[in-house]
Chain A
Amino acid sequence: MMKKISYTIKCLLFGCLILTYSACRKAAQPIPEQDKALLPPDPTSVVKGFYLLNEGNMNMNKASLDYLDYTTGQYRRDIYNQTNPDVTKGLGDVGNDIGIYGSKMYVVVNVSNKLEILNAHTGKRISLITIANCRYVTFHNGKAYVSAYLGKVGDPNAPNGAVDEIDTASLQITRTVTVGRQPEEMAIVGEKLYVANSGGYSPPNYERTVSVIDIATFKELKRIDVAINLDRVKADKYGDIYVTSRGDYYKIPSKLFVIDTQTDMVKKEFDFGVSNLWIDDDTAYMYSFEFSYITGKNTTTYSMLNVKDETVLDRKFITDGTDSQIKVPYGIAVNPVTKDVLVTDAKDYVSPGTLYCFDPNGKKKWSVTAGDIPAHFAFTY
């Protein structure tokens, strides 16, 4: 009888074994880069190419980096993992900004609390600096400046944000200055750093100022009152900075302001919303994608501005009707040589977006599938 039982048990165990081996998994491997011939090669191109940082939806750990190489015409999608297979969980969660300074590329990854420092030519990681809740990066005189939503995390009495200064040679944080609540983008004019404070953690008690930091002493000189919930800051070559306000999504609409950095005063205000802008030479290329909780609708507009005399142009940078295909404009950049305009569509935020390229006449030249929430650009030379 025991023999029979043991036979039965053996059979059952054998069954289990089959179950185990027939349901096999593929061996894990780094996510491969996907290359696609997008353009005819142009080996003499002055601008060698550009990186596109895709944010990836929160908690998905799907920030990714694409590279368009003008010299070969290849669109290299999702290059980070193949280039850096040893980095645990890759680029990380929510890529928020990218910038190239010298031979290094700096990628701000918001939820991953990190500033990735990569070789700008190869995309290979050089170093990593952990900065909690970091948002944007800008550069000046051998230093990188990174804004962070909170200067001190976990202190109930410290709602203010900070800007960290990083030495681009030693790759160490050298100085830190406290600014307003939840600072966003920064711009540097002369020896002053301007940072937009949003106060986004405490609605309706938004911040409404731009902090002005003296770079020499790394102290906050003053705050310029602008409007609630500030976001973007871009400098033109005439000593002005362009600041956007997101409004409150209810009654206070989004707006664009111009600050004269000589007087540190708001010198002009435009009564239209701007979500993002890119200043190239004398022209600002802008779009607005504004949601209203009152109408429940999104409104999208594209516009251009002459920054020399701050006048709205009657030209458009999309003229062939492609704008109707763009569901959620999310990123913008202009090739400084060809003046081609790059616009991204984040679509539904949870599937790959599209990168569009328009020629200076506003006609679509090409488009390509990017990563999830394609957003931020950095050109390579």
Chain B
Amino acid sequence: MVAIQGALCGNLQAQSADTVRSASKDTLKNHHLKEVAIRAGRISSRNTSATPLQILKGAELEKLNSFSVADAIRFFSGVQLKDYGGIGGLKTINVRSLGSNHLAVFYDGVEFGNSQNGQVDLGKFSLDNIEEIALYNAQKGTIFQPAKGFSAGSAIYLTSRHPNFEPGSNSIGKISLKTGSSGLINPSFFWQYKLSDNVYSTVSTEIIHANGRYKFTYTNGVYDTTAVRQNGDITAQRVELGLNGKLRDSSKWAVKGYLYNSDRGLPAAIVSNKFDSNERLWDRDIFVQSSYNKKFSDQYSLMMSAKYANTYSHYVNPDITTTTGLLNDRYYEDELYFSVANKYRINPFWDVDLSADYQWNTLHITENDSAKYRFVPPVRNTLLTALATELHFKRLNIQANVLGTFVKDKVPILSNADNTTEYTPAVLFSWQPTDNPDFRLRGFYKSIFRLPTFNDLYYTFVGYAAVKPEFNKQYDVGFTYNKTLHQQTLVYFAVQTDVYYNHVRDKIVAVPGADLGRWSIINLGKVHIQGIDVNAQATWQVLQDVFINTGIAYTHQKSVDVTNPNDLFYNQQIAYTPVNNGSVLIGGEWRKWYFTYSYIYTGERYSQKYHEVSNYLPPWYTHDAGFTYTTNYNKHKLKLTAEINNLLNQTYDVIFNFPLPGRNYRFTISSTF
């Protein structure tokens, strides 16, 4: 259905472009040429990557109606966002139906992990200081990367802003204030200062506060109930400090410190007779990471990184009273991480890489908490080694790697999980079949697994130490085509399409036990996933100073449960996975004005694996619009943005019984200095 819409939309624009072409034969202005060149340059990384790459960066990212990284990622194909609603609601994604735990999130090159539940809340990352969001299926299409880079089913790379100091200026900064529906107040400050020619510092900080209230409606055609979402308040602070530098031998180094602290209500599922909740969560993430890059010679390059992370979370449920008071659990995670990657150029077309990562994780729970019962703090040692090779010719690039994963868990008293040793391969290629560099074919095969998390294994009422890793195999072939046209209404367009097949076995699933709140984790289930992802971008110059950018993403996916032919749900689409989903992005630029319109469509889904009326979730589709006005005021660049999201006020749930906001507004004022 979306494909048709996309085609319609495309035709429409082509048509409108035709009618105005006669008026736009003037020569392009210099800066526009430059802009197009930049755009084309950016797309080329999309074009040549051996693994499918989707990217949002710079101005394009800034102009998107998005509050967090999770919002922006919705525009990618092959991605399902699990959104529990509101500003503070958990937002995780899965790519190509592989499950959130198969996705690795890298922040400035180092993984942002969670050993306790293996999922990263992407709602935590604001876009304030993010320069680029890149999503790679399988892995980044390079061999020179940390072993972690090879270790996930797909990977998101978030890159923080790099400074672009004006000549004669040694600082650059931005202050901004966002406000809007649900009582949102979000002031932020960003400042980069040039300490010397080779060193700069970064300060980025923000406060997010929202009462989280919004109206929602449920109806079955007979009852029609509207209420206000309760207990969705959040107060969060984020502080990041960074130092980046270059040494005299042209090696690069970076150090980053990060603090995120939040206090939020956890809104409950909206169920009959109970709309409210009293649960609260406090969490605090701290990490320090640093990296060092050096090219010793044309042959040998070295990349090192290290990280220490400390995560604290505190959960209170006043609806449960134990003998020691209200349910009150505190979790402490520690992580140490070291990584070395070496690349050696054997000859002009042959590179090899050897990467090794070591990671140490622990999880603790404080005394006197209910969670303490029979909980023994686990320690996990992980060693990842990757041996990779790349052949790069003028028109052909082939990469292959083997990842060795060695995991040893130590649990003081109870039985711990077996040691895990696995070797998993990946093969990638990108090929330009003709003389035309605009058209390329690509493909990959990757076998990878995800380990059971600490919760899966050791959490008293859930975990069970004999859970095995969950494996998946991914196959993908696709093409990319892009074209920059001059003296045309259509200035640039790019399209990439991939078909894929994934196979998941020993899927780790939680099943509730015989007793309330007691779950068991088991390896159960096989899933076959077949899909196609289509992405297209185009830039139109309809008038001399009117530019329109359009983007379309579409996914068609059959992800079926093939665990047991005797199951009622055998061969049915797995829960929360639509067959069709897609997005359309339109941005128009005219002098100081910028207009964005975005449309997201998610087809019908089922909230559980068996397809029946009571599990049916209707399609949802939201229209968002934004207007930005930029002007200069006293040497400051002032920007005003107004956004309307869910323009048609559609009521929908992404997760069954967790309603999302209807029409809502956001206003931003920012000044760059």
In the assembled complex, the Cα of A348 lies from the Cα of B570 at a distance in Å of 13
State whether A159 touches B322 (Cβ < 8 A).
Answer: yes
Residue of A nearest to B544 (CB): A1
The interface size of chain A toward B, counting residues with CB under 8 Å, comes to 85
Please list the 10 inter-chain residue pairs (A to B) with the smallest Cβ-Cβ separation, ordered nearest first: A92-B272, A93-B271, A156-B325, A85-B222, A89-B272, A11-B16, A59-B269, A61-B271, A202-B322, A351-B610
Known A20-B648, A23-B601, A113-B274; contact A350-B15, beta-carbon cutoff 8 A: no
State whether A150 touches B607 (Cβ < 8 A).
Answer: no
Stretch at the interface among A2-10, A37-45, A98-106, A314-322: A2-10
State whether A114 touches B272 (Cβ < 8 A).
Answer: yes
- B624 → chain A, closest Cβ, in Å? 11
Does B310 count as interface, using CB distance less than 8 angstroms? no
> B321-358, CB under 8 A of A: which get 1 and which 0?
11111110000000000000000000000000000000
Residues of chain B within 8 A (CB-CB) of A155 are 321
State whether B322 touches A291 (Cβ < 8 A).
Answer: no
- Please pick, from A19, A61, A109, the residue contacting B584 in the complex, using a CB distance under 8 A: A19
State whether A60 touches B656 (Cβ < 8 A).
Answer: yes
In the assembled complex, the Cα of A146 lies from the Cα of B516 at a distance in Å of 18
Stretch at the interface among A27-35, A170-178, A305-313: A27-35
Residues of chain A within 8 A (CB-CB) of B512 are 57-58, 349-350
The interface size of chain B toward A, counting residues with CB under 8 Å, comes to 84
- B130 → chain A, closest Cβ, in Å? 28
State whether B8 touches A158 (Cβ < 8 A).
Answer: no
In the assembled complex, the Cα of A372 lies from the Cα of B23 at a distance in Å of 64
- Please pick, from B520, B599, B601, B608, the residue contacting A60 in the complex, using a CB distance under 8 A: B608
Residues of chain B within 8 A (CB-CB) of A93 are 269, 271-272, 274
Residues of chain B within 8 A (CB-CB) of A15 are 8-9, 12-13
Known A11-B12, A88-B225, A133-B319; contact A4-B20, beta-carbon cutoff 8 A: yes
Residues of chain B within 8 A (CB-CB) of A7 are 16, 19-20
Does A250 count as interface, using CB distance less than 8 angstroms? yes
Which residues, 103 to 156 on A, are CB-close (under 8 Å) to B?
109-114, 128, 130, 132-133, 150, 153-156
> A356-381, CB under 8 A of B: which get 1 and which 0?
00000000000001001000000000
Does B586 count as interface, using CB distance less than 8 angstroms? yes
A contact set with B: CB distance below 8 Å: 1, 4-5, 7-8, 11-12, 14-16, 18-20, 22-23, 25-32, 57-62, 64, 78, 81, 85-94, 109-114, 128, 130, 132-133, 150, 153-159, 181, 199-205, 246, 249-250, 275, 289, 291, 293, 296, 328, 330, 348-352, 369, 372
State whether A246 touches B623 (Cβ < 8 A).
Answer: no
In the assembled complex, the Cα of A369 lies from the Cα of B271 at a distance in Å of 24
State whether B613 touches A369 (Cβ < 8 A).
Answer: no
State whether B608 touches A351 (Cβ < 8 A).
Answer: yes
State whether B272 touches A29 (Cβ < 8 A).
Answer: no
Known A114-B273, A203-B373, A351-B610; contact A289-B8, beta-carbon cutoff 8 A: no
State whether B271 touches A12 (Cβ < 8 A).
Answer: no
Stretch at the interface among B43-51, B213-221, B231-239, B470-478: B213-221
State whether B5 touches A89 (Cβ < 8 A).
Answer: no
Does B59 count as interface, using CB distance less than 8 angstroms? no
- A75 → chain B, closest Cβ, in Å? 15
Residue of B nearest to A275 (CB): B514
State whether A128 touches B19 (Cβ < 8 A).
Answer: no
- B339 → chain A, closest Cβ, in Å? 35
Known A114-B272, A201-B327; contact A19-B321, beta-carbon cutoff 8 A: no
Known A19-B5, A28-B220; contact A111-B274, beta-carbon cutoff 8 A: yes
